């Protein structure tokens, strides 16, 4: 057994505070410059957040600032971590003395052909067949799937089919299915490691050889999560279904500190550590997220690998996308249940409160964005945003506001460059237009709806968004406008644009010599101008989807027959997953526009 790095070393340094930024830059020759600049910029930007602004939209601006600050604090903490460099690619070589691994494939009603593609890919991994087993965990109790797996066992005897059936007293959800494998099926012959794949996530042949080395050389790490790639994404990914910001920004920074969040499919973990932690938490639908919180709370390290090692499916309808995101947020709202029996008897009390607070913070962030974006038109319609103060103070305040927004944009652009331009500036706000749908789904679930059953994974026939009936164009439009909340997005978008026009019109038509001052303290007030930009960009996404619905490629179009005779993501799909490091069309144009706007605001502020 031999561990070897695959990629060139990529060292990085950090800056301890914005007061030492020049000295740090002087000592950074030959190091990872993009990360250095990001780290320096975020220190400066966080410092300007404490500037003494006086404006009537302070509460709203502070809400957005808190959300931005989450990313920025992750960058600061990640930059000061002991492992502040990108994780190297490793490979496990040899065939002797390799650890035993169980590949777990939980399923519940997905199309059999989808499940079997995943199963075949898992069975043909580049790993000795005597050292791993593939277990299909069928909560749908499908006789068709059982027969198909039995037929495959003639070729791959290390493949097994299991089902719990619909027994009373069992948790009929993905967490319960996983725990059934961990505590019951593996009791007599427990493996050292387990890997989990969703029924629609096809693993690459080198998955185990690429992931095991990271856990083998880091004994304190108990779980490794891999980034999820997809082979049926539409061109441009208009709904941000690839979750680029989460993987390349948030989880990448958490990984530097050994605190990566488990993304579910494609995870590899030490079985005994999960057993000692009580198995997968069953108090929430988001069992993967909760498991990460529990493991970190117990002092374990969790890490992430960015390498393309699995390819899955995204929902191919707006219904499916919204329902999937709603389920995640319902899962976060359920984190409060960790304080209740029987969970509160198995976890330390301090950890319970930490998990509950995490859920409250996530829900409060969504609610805060919903309220803040709705307030934009009201604030602009109210008139002057900045109270009348002395000209000197007004000028100082405006220039500091320009500096604050300039650093905000610098951080966003540098963060995008640091990810190889996979993530766009302010992509943290992707899908923020769904905040209303999330709040409605959470309220409906807790107040009206009965507790849903089943795994509710992307392709399951138990999901309402996978029904075969095809609605008419009018039915689809009505459903998208009212049930999917696009009507609300249109209202907010139009109200924001109308309030901007109204604010400009009011400033121009007022007959006095304070035109510039009125513009700079209303629509051109830097924080408000930036918030208007975010609002328009965010709420345009669903409108654009309605006007020009994306075309999702057929599932089989993204697959190709491999040398081993099983289907894998096509070479084109795999190539698209590679980071080219090139700026997308319009990136530099956006930089120029930002510089020109900020420069114009700066000149205008000097004349106050």
The predicted-structure confidence for 306-356, as pLDDT tens digits, reads as follows 999 999 999 999 999 999 999 999 999 999 999 988 877 889 999 999 999
- What is the C-alpha to C-alpha distance for residues 250 and 78, in angstroms, rounded to an integer? 10
254-258, 271-275, 376-380, 422-426, range with greatest mean pLDDT: 271-275
Are both 389 and 519 inside the same structural domain?
Answer: yes
User: Would you state the pLDDT for residue 68?
Assistant: 61
pLDDT digits (tens, 9 = 90+) for 190-212: 999 999 999 999 999 999 999 99
Same domain, 434 and 308: no
Does one domain contain both 74 and 107? no
Looking only at the bridges linking them, the beta strands covering 193-196 and 132-138 are unpaired
25 lies in a domain? yes
Per DSSP, 201 falls in state: -
Per-residue model confidence as pLDDT tens digits over 135-175: 999 998 999 999 999 999 999 999 999 999 764 445 558 99
Band of residue 274 on the pLDDT scale cut at 50, 70, 90 = very high
Question: 589 and 453 in one domain?
Answer: yes
Domain assignment present for residue 169? The answer is yes
Say what percent of the chain tops pLDDT 90: 56
In a domain? residue 184:
yes
User: Cα dist. 211→49, 93, 319, 397, 458 in Å?
Assistant: 40, 12, 34, 51, 24
* Cβ atoms within 10 Å, residue 345: 7
Checking if the pLDDT of 80 tops 80, the result is: no
Q: Which of 314, 334, 349 is the last residue of a domain?
A: 314
CATH number at residue 119: 3.90.550.10
Position 116 in a domain: yes
Q: How far apart are CA 414 and CA 423, in angstroms?
A: 10
Q: Is 337 among the domain residues?
A: no
Are 74 and 103 in a shared domain? no
Q: How far apart are CA 604 and CA 606, in angstroms?
A: 5
Chain position carrying tokens 């930490």: 354
Judge whether 260 lies within some domain.
yes
176 and 120 in one domain?
yes
Q: Is residue 339 part of a domain?
A: no
322-325 long-range CB contacts below 8 Å, 24 or more apart?
322/434, 322/437, 322/484, 322/485, 323/463, 323/464, 323/465, 324/458, 324/465, 325/431, 325/434, 325/437, 325/438
Predicted local confidence at residue 608, as pLDDT: 77
Shared domain for 106 and 41, answered yes or no, is no
pLDDT at residue 542 greater than cutoff 70: yes
104 & 190 share domain: yes
pLDDT at 42: 54
**What pLDDT is recorded for position 446?**
92
Indicate the number of domains in the chain.
2
pLDDT at residue 4 in the model: 53
Contact 81, 256 (CB under 8 A): yes
Do residue 532 and residue 598 come from a single domain?
A: yes
Q: How confident is the model at residue 573 (pLDDT cuts 50, 70, 90)?
A: very high
Residue 245 lies in a domain: yes
Cα–Cα dist 268/514, whole Å:
64
Q: Which domain holds residue 234?
A: 98-314
Question: Do residue 67 and residue 105 come from a single domain?
Answer: no
Look at residue 76 in the predicted model and tell me its pLDDT: 65
Residue 464 has pLDDT above 60, yes or no: no
- pLDDT, position 114: 97
Looking at the structure, tell me whether residues 104 and 45 fall in a common domain: no
**What is the C-alpha to C-alpha distance for residues 285 and 269, in angstroms, rounded to an integer?**
20
Gyration radius of the chain over CA positions: 26
State residue 513's pLDDT score: 77
3 state SS of 159: strand
Query: Residue 259: which of 354, 361, 369, 193 has the closest Cα?
Result: 354
Residue 28 has pLDDT above 50, yes or no: no
Mean pLDDT of 565-588: 87
| Last residue of one domain, picked from the residues 280, 314, 348 | 314
475 burial type by CB count under 10 A (0-12 exposed, 13-18 middle, 19+ buried): exposed
Q: Tell me: the pLDDT tens digits for 352-392?
A: 999 999 999 999 988 888 888 898 898 888 876 776 667 88
Q: What is the pTM of this model?
A: 0.85
pLDDT value at residue 387 = 67
- Tell me which of 239 and 480 has the higher pLDDT: 239
Q: Distance (Å, rounded) from C-alpha 43 to C-alpha 537?
A: 26
How many Cα atoms within 13 Å fall on the side-chain side of residue 445? Answer: 21
Residues 49 and 189 in one domain: no
Instruction: Give yes or no for a contact between 78 and 254, defined as CB atoms under 8 angstroms apart.
Output: yes
Question: Considering the chain, what percentage of its residues have pLDDT values greater than 70?
Answer: 80
Q: What is the pLDDT of residue 22?
A: 31
* CA atoms of 152 and 135, how far apart (whole Å): 12
Q: Which residue has the tokens 């907010």?
A: 492
Residue 468: pLDDT above 80? Answer: no
**What pLDDT, on the 0 to 100 scale, is given for residue 511?**
77
């Amino acid at each position: 057994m031999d561990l070897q790095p695959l990629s060139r070393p990529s060292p990085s340094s950090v800056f301890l505070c914005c007061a030492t930024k020049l000295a740090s830059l002087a000592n950074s020759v030959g190091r990872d410059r993009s990360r250095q600049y990001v780290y320096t910029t975020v220190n400066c930007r966080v410092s300007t957040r404490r500037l003494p602004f006086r404006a009537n939209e302070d509460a709203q601006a502070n809400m957005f600032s808190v959300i931005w600050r989450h990313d920025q604090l992750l960058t600061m903490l990640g930059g000061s971590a002991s492992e502040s460099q990108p994780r190297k690619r490793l490979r496990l070589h040899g065939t002797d003395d390799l650890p035993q691994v169980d590949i777990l494939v939980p399923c519940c009603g997905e199309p059999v052909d989808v499940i079997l593609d995943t199963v075949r890919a898992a069975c043909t991994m580049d790993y000795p067949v005597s050292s791993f087993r593939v277990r299909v965990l069928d909560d749908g109790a499908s006789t068709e799937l059982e027969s198909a797996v039995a037929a495959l066992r003639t070729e791959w005897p290390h493949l097994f089919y299991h089902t719990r059936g619909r027994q009373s007293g069992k948790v009929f959800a993905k967490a319960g299915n996983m725990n059934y494998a961990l505590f019951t099926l593996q009791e007599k012959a427990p493996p050292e490691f387990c890997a989990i794949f969703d029924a629609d996530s096809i693993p690459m042949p080198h998955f185990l050889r690429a992931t095991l080395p990271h856990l083998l050389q880091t004994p304190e790490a108990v779980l490794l999560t891999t980034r999820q790639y997809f082979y049926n994404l539409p061109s441009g990914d208009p709904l941000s279904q690839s979750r680029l910001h989460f993987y390349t920004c948030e989880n990448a920074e958490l990984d530097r500190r050994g605190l990566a969040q488990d993304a579910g499919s494609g995870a590899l973990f030490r079985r005994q550590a999960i057993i000692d932690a009580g198995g997968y938490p069953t108090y929430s639908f988001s069992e993967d997220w909760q498991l990460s919180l529990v493991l970190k709370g117990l002092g374990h390290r969790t890490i992430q690998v960015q390498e393309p090692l699995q390819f899955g499916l995204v929902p191919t309808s707006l219904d499916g996308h919204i329902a999937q995101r709603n389920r995640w947020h319902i899962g976060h709202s359920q984190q409060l249940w960790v304080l209740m029996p029987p969970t509160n008897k198995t976890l330390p009390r301090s950890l319970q409160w930490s998990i509950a607070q995490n859920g409250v913070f996530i829900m409060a962030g969504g609610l805060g964005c919903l309220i803040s974006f709705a307030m934009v038109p009201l604030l602009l319609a109210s008139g002057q945003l900045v109270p009348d103060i002395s000209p000197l103070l007004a000028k100082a305040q405006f220039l500091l506001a320009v500096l604050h927004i300039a650093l905000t944009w610098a951080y966003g652009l540098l963060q995008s460059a640091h990810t190889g331009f996979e993530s766009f500036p302010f992509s943290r706000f992707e899908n923020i237009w769904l905040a209303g749908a999330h709040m409605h789904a959470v309220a409906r679930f807790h107040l009206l709806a009965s507790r849903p059953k089943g795994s509710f994974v992307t392709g399951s026939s138990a999901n309402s968004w996978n029904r075969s009936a095809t609605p008419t164009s009018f039915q689809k439009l009505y459903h998208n406008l009212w049930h999917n909340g696009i009507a609300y997005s249109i209202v907010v978008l139009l109200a924001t644009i109308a309030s901007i026009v109204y604010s400009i019109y009011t400033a121009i038509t007022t007959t006095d010599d304070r035109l510039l001052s009125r513009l700079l303290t209303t629509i051109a007030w830097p924080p408000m101008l930036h918030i208007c930009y975010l609002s328009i960009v965010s709420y345009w996404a669903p409108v654009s989807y309605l006007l020009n619905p994306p075309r999702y490629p057929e599932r089989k179009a993204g697959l190709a027959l491999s040398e081993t005779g099983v289907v894998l993501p096509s070479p084109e799909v795999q190539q698209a997953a590679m980071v080219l490091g090139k700026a997308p069309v319009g990136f530099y144009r956006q930089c120029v526009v930002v510089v020109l706007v900020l420069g114009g605001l700066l000149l205008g502020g000097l004349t106050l």
